[in-house]
Amino acid sequence: MASEICPDNVGKQVWPELLGAAAEVAVETIRRENPNVKVIIIDEGTSTITVILCDTVRVWVERGIVVMVPAVG
**Domain range summary for the chain, segments of one domain joined by +:** 2-66
State the Cα angle at 20 between 54 and 12, rounded to 5°: 30
pTM given for the model: 0.86
CATH number among 3.90.1200.10, 3.30.10.10, 3.90.1150.10, 3.40.50.300, domain 2-66:
3.30.10.10
pLDDT value of residue 9: 73
Give per-residue pLDDT as tens, 19-72: 999 999 999 999 999 999 999 999 988 877 788 888 999 999 999 999 999 999
- DSSP letter string, 52-71: --TTEEEEEEETTEE-S--B
pLDDT of residue 3: 58
Better-scored residue on pLDDT, 25 or 3: 25
Look at residue 34 in the predicted model and tell me its pLDDT. Answer: 96
